Structure 1
Amino acid sequence: MKKLIEVLPDKTALIERSLSLTLEKITTAIEQRGQCTLALSGGSTPKPLYEALAQQPLPWEKIHIFWGDERYVPPDHPDSNQGMTRQAWLNHISIPAENIHPMPTASGDPTLDAQTHETELIQFFQVGIGQFPAFDVILLGMGDDGHTASLFPHTEALAVRDRLVTVGNKDGQPRLTFTIPLINQARCVIFVVAGENKRPALAEIMAEVSDEQAYPSRSIQPQGELWWLLDAAAGE
């Protein structure tokens, strides 16, 4: 694993750097493999990044969009990661509908929907049962509790090592989430983190020794590159 940490002066600079790095990784993936598989994070921090990506003249037919986690709500719900991304970005570009791979949330059974999405990933990447596909880029955020995707401290999802997608739990609310081994198979993972409230958790995550159960983002150790892009408030 190659770990790189950059602290940007403010949130504007953080988004600009996130954009340039994401574009670089998309371009490299398309040059090397003919397409790019990109998994997105939710939350407020990446929204301006998605708005900026909507302005880029990219070969959208060669880019496949996934999400690293999703709240268990319909796509038109205000809390939906998919919904936010479509409004900020995907509705404004000419990307083929079949290149967008949202997590299903409609069956009423989160476990069943997690299995359905796992099957889609296995078929899309053409990997065998028990194998983990390698995403080109996975964008992640981090909560002030140290969680990432929907991998929350001291929850059952942290222990899942034999699935690609599982059910996370936030205060009793189910969410779908990539598992730790799936994220760690990625060629490039980019954390985009802003805000002074993230500092205590970041200190634990960057420490020589700490508890991965308490700070799940510590568990993200991809086989490729690991980027931490921080604004000065988070990373000074």
Structure 2
Amino acid sequence: MNQKVEVLPDKNALVERALSLILSKVDDAIQQRGRFTIALSGGSTPKPLYEALGKQQLPWDKIHVLWGDERYVAANHADSNQLMARNAWLDKVDIPPANIHAMPTDVAEPAQAAQLYEQDLQKLFNSAPGEFPAIDVILLGMGDDAHTASLFPNTEALKVTDRLVTVGNKDSSVRLTFTYPFINAAECVIFLVAGENKRPALAEVFAPNASSTTYPSRLIQPQKQLWWLLDEAAGAEIKV
């Protein structure tokens, strides 16, 4: 694993660095494979990044957008990660609707929805059941409990290692989420972490020894590239 940690002065600098990194990955992937795939995260930290991406002139017909996790709410619900990304970015650019691969949250059973999304991903990547295709970039955030995507501490989703997508739970709130082995198959994983409230969790994630069940972000150890982009408030105590 090629891990890089950068502590940026503030959230604006973090967003600028993430944008630059993503744009370089877009160019590389399209040159090498003819398209670029990116999985988005929710939360407040990536929203200005999505707004910045919405102002770029990119070959949108060659870009496919996915989500690493989603709350089990309607696509137009205020809590929807998809809605946030559409409002901030996707509705502002000429990306083909077929290139936007949203998680289905209109199925009665979340487990069935996870299976449907997994089938969509297998079709997109032309991968067989049991294979973990490599997304070009997966964006992740991290909560102050060290969860990432919808992989929460001490939940069943952390035990799923033979699927691309599973059901995640935060208390009584149902989510869909990528599994950690699928995240680890990516070409590049980028964590965006901002805020002083993240410091205790980051200390455990970067500690030599700690429980991955208690601090799920420790499970993210991709085979290729891992970037931790931290603002000063979050990363001041991280030794890099």
TM-score, normalising length from structure 1?
Answer: 0.99
Work out the CA distance in 1 between the residues paired with 2:45 and 2:75. Answer: 19
Work out the CA distance in 2 between the residues paired with 1:24 and 1:163. Answer: 30
Instruction: Using the TM superposition, give the Cα deviation of residue 27 of structure 1 relative to its aligned residue in structure 2, in angstroms.
Output: 1.2
Q: Deviations over 1:74-126 (max 9, x none)?
A: 01000000000000000000000000000000012100100000011111111
Instruction: Using the TM superposition, give the Cα deviation of residue 128 of structure 1 relative to its aligned residue in structure 2, in angstroms.
Output: 1.0
Work out the CA distance in 2 between the residues paired with 1:183 and 1:163. Answer: 11
- The equivalent residue for 2:198 is 198
- The 3-state SS of whatever aligns with 2:228 is strand
- The 3-state SS of whatever aligns with 1:139 is strand
Instruction: Using the TM superposition, give the Cα deviation of residue 129 of structure 1 relative to its aligned residue in structure 2, in angstroms.
Output: 1.1
Instruction: Using the TM superposition, give the Cα deviation of residue 49 of structure 1 relative to its aligned residue in structure 2, in angstroms.
Output: 0.2
Question: Is residue 103 of structure 2 the alignment partner of residue 111 of structure 1?
Answer: no
Work out the CA distance in 1 between the residues paired with 2:81 and 2:161. Answer: 24
Percent identity among equivalent residues?
Answer: 65
- The equivalent residue for 1:142 is 142
Work out the CA distance in 2 between the residues paired with 1:110 and 1:215. Answer: 24
Runs of 4+ in 1 over 2 A off after TM superposition: none
Instruction: Using the TM superposition, give the Cα deviation of residue 193 of structure 1 relative to its aligned residue in structure 2, in angstroms.
Output: 0.4
Instruction: Using the TM superposition, give the Cα deviation of residue 173 of structure 1 relative to its aligned residue in structure 2, in angstroms.
Output: 1.2
Work out the CA distance in 2 between the residues paired with 1:101 and 1:216. Answer: 25
Question: Is residue 28 of structure 2 the alignment partner of residue 28 of structure 1?
Answer: yes
Instruction: Using the TM superposition, give the Cα deviation of residue 228 of structure 1 relative to its aligned residue in structure 2, in angstroms.
Output: 0.0
Superposition pairs for residues 62-211 of structure 1, below 5 Å?
Answer: 62-211=62-211
Amino acid in the other structure paired with 1:154: N
Work out the CA distance in 2 between the residues paired with 1:23 and 1:39. Answer: 14
- The 3-state SS of whatever aligns with 2:22 is helix
Work out the CA distance in 1 between the residues paired with 2:165 and 2:25. Answer: 24
Work out the CA distance in 1 between the residues paired with 2:41 and 2:27. Answer: 20
Amino acid in the other structure paired with 2:57: P
Work out the CA distance in 1 between the residues paired with 2:108 and 2:170. Answer: 17
Amino acid in the other structure paired with 1:43: G
TM-score, normalising length from structure 2?
Answer: 0.98
Work out the CA distance in 1 between the residues paired with 2:148 and 2:85. Answer: 18
- The equivalent residue for 2:219 is 219
What are the ranges of 5 or more consecutive residues in structure 1 without an aligned counterpart?
A: none
Amino acid in the other structure paired with 1:39: A
- RMSD value over aligned CA atoms? 0.5
Work out the CA distance in 1 between the residues paired with 2:26 and 2:158. Answer: 29
- The 3-state SS of whatever aligns with 1:65 is strand
